[in-house]
């Protein structure tokens, strides 16, 4: 599954970079999403494979913090890019005549850079919370990697500053991206309803199907794992959800975008 994920996303990157027909804002964001998916699975799965082969489940304090930090960056990058892609679909459907002006290369690059900076900020907020723990030693995590949400739940103290950081991270990197996606699709659906022909409605909505599939898969599994409390979740369900949104979702992304996308399929046929 790890090889399929890496090779599938590398193929998407290769196709987009080699075909000039795909040098558009939508595929530019898909290029960066595939890159973020490769990085996110590479922070967790290789360590899990080594643990399986060596029959060990231990990870050092520094290794755990490093894994948590890198995973937070790339999984948040996925989150931000999905929000940016929803905005891109909103502009394409609601303002088609101004699309190339609004989504110019400078703005697209700026959106990706801002996504990375927000992801870096999310990682640092998690580090600030965890570094306040005074007993972070010989702890057991019911997962195959240092899941940030589970690490934060190890802190049983009622620390005011930690709680403020937790809620700040939750609002900035949970509530705002989801709200942005919902608002974009509210505007998109409103615009599609106003299209007079059924063919035009189908064509407009078909450009959003792949993105909606990835969004549903990503948020459907990650929200419960990231924001559920340790008391309300069994270790098995938490582990299963973690596997789905850390490995299964990045693995399916290339298939969703290639099998349902005429441009990607045409580029693949030209490439091979």
Cα–Cα distance, 271 to 39 (Å, whole number): 25
Whether the pLDDT of residue 231 is over 50: the answer is no
- What residues contact residue 53 under an 8 Å CB cut-off, 6+ apart? none
Domain annotation covers residue 135: yes
Least confident of 35-44, 73-82, 109-118, 238-247: 238-247
Q: What is the mean pLDDT of residues 75-79?
A: 90
Domain annotation covers residue 5: no
pLDDT band at 196 (very low <50, low <70, confident <90, very high): confident
pLDDT: which is higher, 260 or 104: 104
Domain annotation covers residue 8: no
- The 10 Å Cβ neighbour count of residue 99 is 17
Domain annotation covers residue 25: no
CATH number for position 235: 1.20.1070.10
Q: How many helices (H) and strands (E) does the chain have?
A: 13, 0
Domain annotation covers residue 131: yes
> Which position has the token pair 């299209």?
195
Q: What is the total count of domains within the chain?
A: 1
Domain annotation covers residue 66: yes
pLDDT: which is higher, 20 or 227: 20
Domain annotation covers residue 24: no
CA quadruple 205, 211, 213, 215: dihedral positive or negative?
A: negative
Domain annotation covers residue 174: yes
**Are the CB atoms for 87 and 7 separated by under 8 Å?**
no
In sequence order, what E strands does the chain have? none
Domain that holds residue 64: 39-254
């Amino acid at each position: 599954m790890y090889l399929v994920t890496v090779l599938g996303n590398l193929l998407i990157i290769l196709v987009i970079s080699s075909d000039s027909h795909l040098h558009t804002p939508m595929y530019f964001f898909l290029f960066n999403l595939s890159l973020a998916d490769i990085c996110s699975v590479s922070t967790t799965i290789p360590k899990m494979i080594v643990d399986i082969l060596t029959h060990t489940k231990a990870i050092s304090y520094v290794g755990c913090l490093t894994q948590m930090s890198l995973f937070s960056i790339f999984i948040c990058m996925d989150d931000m890019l999905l929000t940016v892609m929803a905005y891109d679909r909103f502009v394409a459907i609601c303002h088609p005549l101004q699309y190339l002006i609004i989504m110019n290369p400078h703005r697209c690059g700026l959106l990706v850079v801002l996504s990375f900076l927000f992801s870096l900020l999310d990682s640092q907020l998690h580090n600030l919370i965890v570094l306040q723990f005074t007993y972070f030693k010989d702890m057991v995590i019911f997962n195959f990697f240092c899941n940030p949400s589970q690490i934060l739940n190890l802190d049983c103290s009622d620390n005011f500053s930690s709680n403020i950081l937790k809620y700040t991270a939750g609002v900035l990197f949970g509530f705002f991206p989801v709200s942005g996606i919902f608002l974009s699709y509210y505007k998109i659906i409103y615009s599609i309803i106003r299209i007079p022909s059924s063919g035009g409605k189908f064509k407009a909505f078909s450009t959003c199907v792949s993105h909606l599939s990835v969004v549903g898969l990503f948020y459907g599994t990650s929200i419960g794992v990231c924001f559920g409390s340790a008391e309300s979740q069994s270790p098995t369900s938490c582990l299963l959800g973690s596997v789905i949104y850390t490995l299964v979702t990045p693995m399916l992304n290339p298939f969703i975008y290639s099998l349902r996308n005429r441009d990607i399929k045409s580029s693949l046929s030209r490439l091979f």
